Amino acid sequence: MNQAKATDYDIIIAGGGMIGTSLGLALAPLKLRVAIIEAVARSAEQQPSFDDRSTALSRSSQRTFEAMGLWPEIVAASTPIKNIHVSDKGRFGFAHIDAGEQEVEALGYVVINRVLGQVLQSSLSGVDGLDLSCPAKICAVAVASDEVVATIEEPGGQRQLTCKLLVAADGANSGVRDMIGISASRVDYDQWAVIGNVLPEKAPGNCAYERFTDTGPIAMLPIADERAAFVWMLPPASARELLTLSDEEFTDRLQDTFGYRLGRFSKVGKRAAYPLALTKANGLIAKRSVVVGNAAHGLHPVAAQGFNLGMRDVAALCDCIADARDDQAESLDCGSAAILENYAEWRRSDQKKLVRFTDGIVRLFGDQRPPVPALRDLGMLAFDMIPGVRKTFAKHTMGLAGRLPRLSRGVPLA
C-alpha cells in the first residue's frame, strides 16, 4: 500500500505568506498533495506578508524563481539593483559594490511585496494537487508516528486535516512552531522600521543606498516610476512620532537624515512601521514537522536578507524531498526522519552565519563609542579598496556561497 496516500495531504504548509506560498509553488513539479493554510486574505489591508514593503531579491532568490518558471512575471514588476552605495552619516567612510565588477547583470531586484503576492497567488490556481485554504488558521496540531493531524479554524467552523509533513511557515511569531514543541528566542532591537516611498529629484536609476546614522540605518531602494522605497530604522519613540507628521514635515526629516545625494524629495506615499527583533527557533525540525522562513529566523532588515534566507530554506527542503522521491518512488514519506535530518543538517550553518552577520552589522553600526566609528571608517575604506573582500561579501549577500540546492542554482526540480 502506498503509505503517503493514507493521509489527506503529503504536506501541509502553515502560513501562505511570502515563504509558504513560494514553497507550495516550488514543490509543484514533485506532484505531491499539498495544502497551504493561510490565516489572512491576500487582499486584506492587514495581510502581514504581502504588504506595502519592498523586498530586495538576491541572486539566489532570482534563480529559484527562474527554476520555478515565475521569473519573467516577477522581473517585469521589479527594478534591478546594479550598484550599492553604503555610507556613514557625518563620517568619511563609504563603500560601494558594482554589478559589473561582480560579473552579474544585477546585484538584486526590488519588488513590492503586494506585487510579488499577486504573481505568486495567481500561479497557485494552475498547480494540480495544491489546495489553498484562506482565510483559515491552524489552531492545534497532534503529531503521531505516521501522520500529523492539524485542526483548521475557518469562518464555517473547525475541521481536521492529516499530512505526512507539517511545515511551519507562519512567520516570526509562529504559533505552529510552539504547537510542534520548538521553542524560540527573541531579542528586541529597540528599533522600528518606518517604510514608504518617495519621489526624489534625481532618479535613483539602479542604485540602492544604505546610510548609517547615529539613530539607525536608512535604506533607499530604486523602484518603478523613478521613485525610491525607504526603510528607515530608528528608536520606537522616534518612529511613532514620524508616523504622526504631515507629509511635508516627514519629507523634511527624511531629507535631513538621508541628505541630498538624490536631490529634493517630494510626494511621499503611505507610511507604515514594523517593530524589529531577532527571533531564532531553537531547532529546525521536530517529529514530522519543520520550521522555515521567519518561523525559523526573523532577521533585522538592515542587510535585506530575511526573505532570501527563507527562499534557501524552501530550495533545500524541496531538494531533500526530491532526492528522497528519486530513492523511494511510490512509497515516499515526506515527513520521514531521514528527510528532515538531511534538511536540518544542510540549513543550520547558512542560517547561523546570516543571523550572526545581520546582527553583527546592527551592533557594529549602532555603536557610537570611540574608537568604533573610526574603525568603521577604516573598515569601509578597506572594503572599498580591496576587490577580493568585496567579491566574497557580494557572493554571500547574493546567496551564492556554500553548497547550493538545485533551485538556488536555477535548476528546475523536474
The least CB distance from residue 328 to ligand FAD, in Å, is 28
Q: State the number of binding residues for ligand FAD (CB under 6 A).
A: 36
Q: How many CB atoms are closer than 10 A to CB 94?
A: 15
The least CB distance from residue 322 to ligand FAD, in Å, is 21
Please state, in angstroms and as integers, the Cα–Cα distance from residue 169 to each residue in 244, 318, 328, following that order: 33, 14, 26
Site for ligand FAD in 91-150 (CB under 6 A): 137-138
Q: Is 39 in the site for ligand FAD (CB under 6 A)?
A: yes
Q: Which of 349, 375, 401, 391 is nearest to 92 (CA)?
A: 375
Distance of CA 94 to the CA centre of its chain: 26
Among 10, 88, 147, 170, which residue sits at the site for ligand FAD (rule: CB under 6 A)? Answer: 170
Nearer to ligand FAD, 37 or 340 (CB): 37
Site for ligand FAD in 310-369 (CB under 6 A): 310
The least CB distance from residue 3 to ligand FAD, in Å, is 26
Q: Is 171 in the site for ligand FAD (CB under 6 A)?
A: yes
Q: Is 308 in the site for ligand FAD (CB under 6 A)?
A: yes
Of 99-107, 259-267, 297-305, 388-396, which part binds ligand FAD (CB under 6 A)?
297-305
Of 48-56, 206-214, 247-255, 344-352, which part binds ligand FAD (CB under 6 A)?
48-56
Of 251-259, 306-314, 329-337, 395-403, which part binds ligand FAD (CB under 6 A)?
306-314
Q: Is 81 in the site for ligand FAD (CB under 6 A)?
A: no
Among 30, 56, 355, 398, which residue sits at the site for ligand FAD (rule: CB under 6 A)? Answer: 56
- Cell readout for 219 is 535604506
Give the dihedral sign, CA 244/245/251/252.
negative
Among 218, 262, 304, 314, which residue sits at the site for ligand FAD (rule: CB under 6 A)? Answer: 304
Q: Which of 80, 59, 64, 81 is nearest to 398 (CA)?
A: 59
Please state, in angstroms and as integers, the Cα–Cα distance from residue 60 to each residue in 24, 73, 314, 333, following that order: 18, 17, 11, 28
The beta strand positions in 169-294, using DSSP E, are 184-200, 207-213, 216-222, 228-234, 265-266, 272-281, 285-286, 289-291
Nearer to ligand FAD, 222 or 310 (CB): 310
Catalogue the long-range contacts made by 378-382 (C-beta closer than 8 Å, 24 or more residues apart): 378/93, 379/93, 380/86, 380/88, 380/93, 380/94, 380/95, 381/93, 381/95
The least CB distance from residue 133 to ligand FAD, in Å, is 9
Q: Does residue 39 contact residue 174 with C-beta atoms inside 8 Å?
A: no
Of 15-23, 73-81, 323-331, 402-410, which part binds ligand FAD (CB under 6 A)?
15-23
Interaction mask 180-199, ligand FAD, x per CB under 6 A: -------------x-x----
The letter for the amino acid at 403 is R
Q: Does residue 85 contact residue 209 with C-beta atoms inside 8 Å?
A: yes
Among 10, 11, 12, 20, which residue sits at the site for ligand FAD (rule: CB under 6 A)? Answer: 20
Give the residues lining the site for ligand FAD (CB under 6 A).
14-20, 37-40, 48-49, 53, 55-56, 137-138, 169-171, 175-176, 193, 195, 231, 274, 293-294, 301, 304-308, 310
